[in-house]
Structure 1
Amino acid sequence: MYRRKVQVTGGGTFFVTLPKGWAERVGIRHGGEVALVPSQGGPLLVVPEGMRESNRCLLRLDGRSRVELEREIIAHYIAGFDVIRVAGERIRPQERRMVREIAQSLIGMEILEETQSEVALHSVVNIQDFPAQHTIHRIFDITRAMLEDAISAFLARDDELARDVIERDGDVDRLVLLVARQFSLLLRDLVTEEDIGLSRFAFLHYHTVADQLERVADHAVKISRAALEVETLPSQEVGGRVRGLFGESKEILEGAVQAFEERDTKLANHVLAHKEDRNQLLELAQISAADQPENAYAISIVMDSLLRARE
């Protein structure tokens, strides 16, 4: 840490000197410019000119499976790289198609450069274009609709609707990855706080909520897959129990998100206080499964997923 005494000119301007060693290390010269950025909480950041250039990385395609390449690209996307170059001795059409499909699963990443041996993905959106508040609410809207449709698909044995819910999980994943990328950029570059309008501490809560909503979406997918395995229509009694538990789970989910968005601690405590005893609900799930042995596995999956979604 460097310490400097604040001085005042005759005209009332405050000034401090910059540490010589630091200035030389980052390339500051006489007549050069630095950016002064007020950050959340009070600190003032001194950013040398050219310090925030685009980040680039190179990934070798040779010998990688699709899963391995997808993991690598997503990891570098979350890490905040603006340009991700994928290179090989000669990229085959199926490999090029694979890179394109991975890029389409990431918000803001587009293929802007291509040669026989390289494909370059570029980030074409600004972080300000996706306010965290709006992104979280969009994730919630999709997740809630997925859960509703998953239950409808299960109760009506609607395979088409069940498959549609499974496909929509990709929309949630893309938004959650975007939130993770924004959080990573915040951790790496304090100046990003000014761009986003949130501190790293505040954004951590949005990141946590996004992860929790993603889990709810995953449970909606599990329910939809269970719906595809149902052999007969659920009985009226089982359907009533499922609807009842779904209604309670939906109410808790909506209340929790509303409490977070409105910073309403009273509502948050109300939601927590009105969660029913899990053991009682597990017993209800077991009874429902026993009522229809042919659908026992699917019913157990549905009830368990609803229990976990509400938590």
Structure 2
Amino acid sequence: MKAATTTTARQEAALGDHREVRKVQFTGRSTYVLSLPKRWIEEMRLRAGDQVTLVREADNSLSIVPMSTGPADSLSEATAVIMPAESASTLRRKVVSMYLAGYNIIHLKLKAGRINPALRDAVREVVRRNLVGTEMIADASDVITLQVLLSLPELSVNTAIRRVYLIASSMHKDAMLALSELNAELAREVIKSDDEVDRFSLYVLRNLVMATQNGRVLREMGLKNPSDCLSYRAAVKSIERVADHSCGIAEAAVRLKEKLPKETLAKIEKMSYLALAVLGDSVEALLRRDYQLADRTVDAVEDVHALEQEALASMEKDRTRDLASVKLVLEDIRRTAEYASDIAEAALNETIDEVIEKGAAKSKQ
């Protein structure tokens, strides 16, 4: 009993000024009334007669959403201080962190003096290469201001994840083509495409962070529960790593001096085809909430390991030159399949309740 009391006290302390206890009143013959805090009404700029929407959440709590408010992602602006000895890499990480936190207007202010050209170029580079829908709207001697112009409804989280997956899978296919043909130009294009994956990955992660903080954002993104954000985050990071491994294959294509023996190449391509197949199935299982497909995908990954051993045996038989580089290619393909397994496991975790509910329903019948 003492422990429960302590827990309640901690919860109340954490709620702080955000918690208000009000009584439910009964009026007329069938109407229950609950007064709203004046401070909240003023902050939402509501007046008598304005409409609000009541949304019943998964945990049976109610959310009150003003119908007259602007986009749900309009968070307040934030200012970060740039220290005199700060490096360009540190500043880039600071900008990305503020972007991921969900701020729409980001001020970068130097503590003293003028912002040097290297830091200014670093900000321009990270905006151009990594931040979707972001523009530099002010560039003074001591402050730089960025604004995120893209609103949440522009791109649903499912659409964005599918876009990231399509880019990553295309990178893998092109990297394998570059490897088979020793096409250095195509390999370099694959490496350049990694920036596009990073941009959309950060965009999705930013939206997921905002969704965990705001139920309205969660619904606008097409998600049901805050727990969905964890699974989607794991999926995005896994797809991002698949793109990195595609770059690894492309880099090997640039290094190799001679084409691989046909038999060895055929086994590597077979392994690659299966890795891409399980990656596609894992993403579909997550987005369609398909437990059975996710379960089959996890099993299929084991076949990739068997194909890797076959490819290694073929390489030794053919006495493949530059064996170390080719082994790295096999590792890149295997890791692609293993990241697909991670996505499939996230899909399993996300849909297990649906499987349990179906089983419970059958047992009652």
User: What TM-score bracket applies, with the shorter chain setting the length?
Assistant: 0.7 to 0.9
Letter in 2 for 1:86: L
Which of 20, 28, 31 is the matching residue for 1:10? 28
* Residue 96 (structure 1) aligned with residue 120 (structure 2): yes
CA apart distance, 1:46 = 4.8
Which of 217, 225, 235 is the matching residue for 2:251? 225
Moved more, 213-222 or 3-12: 3-12
CA apart distance, 1:203 = 3.1
CA apart distance, 1:70 = 0.9
* Residue 254 (structure 1) aligned with residue 280 (structure 2): yes
* Residue 171 (structure 1) aligned with residue 184 (structure 2): no
Moved more, 177-186 or 36-45: 36-45
Contact 1:157 / 1:230 at 8 angstroms: preserved in 2? yes
Which of 262, 274, 297 is the matching residue for 1:236? 262
* Residue 181 (structure 1) aligned with residue 203 (structure 2): no
Contact 1:285 / 1:300 at 8 angstroms: preserved in 2? no
Letter in 2 for 1:74: V
CA apart distance, 1:176 = 0.8
Moved more, 162-171 or 193-202: 193-202
Aligned CA distance change for structure 1 residues 144 and 62 (closer, same or farther; 3 Å):
same
Aligned counterparts of 1:56 and 1:121: Cα–Cα separation in 2: 10
Aligned counterparts of 1:233 and 1:75: Cα–Cα separation in 2: 43
Contact 2:138 / 2:145 at 8 angstroms: preserved in 1? yes
Deviations 1:261-306 (A, max 9, x none): 2222222222223333565344324324433442201210111111
* Residue 273 (structure 1) aligned with residue 295 (structure 2): no
Note the 1:290-309 alignment, pairs <5 A. Answer: 290=316, 291-309=318-336
Aligned CA distance change for structure 1 residues 36 and 134 (closer, same or farther; 3 Å):
same
Letter in 2 for 1:33: L
CA apart distance, 1:114 = 1.9
Aligned counterparts of 2:45 and 2:210: Cα–Cα separation in 1: 26
Contact 1:288 / 1:299 at 8 angstroms: preserved in 2? no
Deviations 1:11-46 (A, max 9, x none): 74421245xxxx58x5767x9738665264242235
Contact 1:83 / 1:123 at 8 angstroms: preserved in 2? yes
SS in 2 for 1:54: coil
TM-score under structure 1 length normalisation: 0.87
Letter in 2 for 1:10: G
Residue 55 of structure 2 aligns with which residue?
38
Contact 1:220 / 1:305 at 8 angstroms: preserved in 2? yes
Aligned counterparts of 1:241 and 1:178: Cα–Cα separation in 2: 37
SS in 2 for 1:71: helix
Number of residue pairs aligned between Structure 1 and Structure 2: 305
Aligned CA distance change for structure 1 residues 297 and 252 (closer, same or farther; 3 Å):
same
CA apart distance, 1:55 = 3.1
Aligned counterparts of 1:68 and 1:276: Cα–Cα separation in 2: 41
SS in 1 for 2:85: coil
Note the 1:81-92 alignment, pairs <5 A. Answer: 81-88=103-110, 89-92=113-116
Aligned counterparts of 2:65 and 2:82: Cα–Cα separation in 1: 33
Contact 1:60 / 1:86 at 8 angstroms: preserved in 2? yes
Which of 134, 139, 148 is the matching residue for 2:173? 148
Contact 1:56 / 1:83 at 8 angstroms: preserved in 2? yes
Residue 342 of structure 2 aligns with which residue?
none
Residue 138 of structure 1 aligns with which residue?
163
Aligned CA distance change for structure 1 residues 91 and 275 (closer, same or farther; 3 Å):
closer
Letter in 1 for 2:77: N
Letter in 2 for 1:55: E
Aligned counterparts of 2:148 and 2:56: Cα–Cα separation in 1: 25
Contact 1:61 / 1:86 at 8 angstroms: preserved in 2? no
CA apart distance, 1:202 = 2.4
Aligned-residue sequence identity (percent) comes to 27
The two structures, once aligned, show a CA RMSD in angstroms of 2.8
Aligned CA distance change for structure 1 residues 190 and 96 (closer, same or farther; 3 Å):
same
Aligned counterparts of 2:281 and 2:311: Cα–Cα separation in 1: 24
Aligned counterparts of 1:306 and 1:260: Cα–Cα separation in 2: 21
Which of 80, 93, 98 is the matching residue for 1:76? 98
Aligned counterparts of 1:113 and 1:17: Cα–Cα separation in 2: 43
Q: Unmatched 5+ residue regions in structure 1?
A: none
Aligned CA distance change for structure 1 residues 32 and 233 (closer, same or farther; 3 Å):
closer
Aligned CA distance change for structure 1 residues 161 and 57 (closer, same or farther; 3 Å):
same
Note the 1:39-58 alignment, pairs <5 A. Answer: 40-41=57-58, 42-46=60-64, 54-58=76-80
Residue 64 of structure 1 aligns with which residue?
86
Aligned counterparts of 1:85 and 1:292: Cα–Cα separation in 2: 58
Aligned counterparts of 1:273 and 1:75: Cα–Cα separation in 2: 37
Letter in 2 for 1:16: L
CA apart distance, 1:228 = 1.1
User: Whose helix proportion is higher, 1 or 2?
Assistant: 2
Contact 1:39 / 1:194 at 8 angstroms: preserved in 2? no
Aligned counterparts of 2:214 and 2:298: Cα–Cα separation in 1: 36
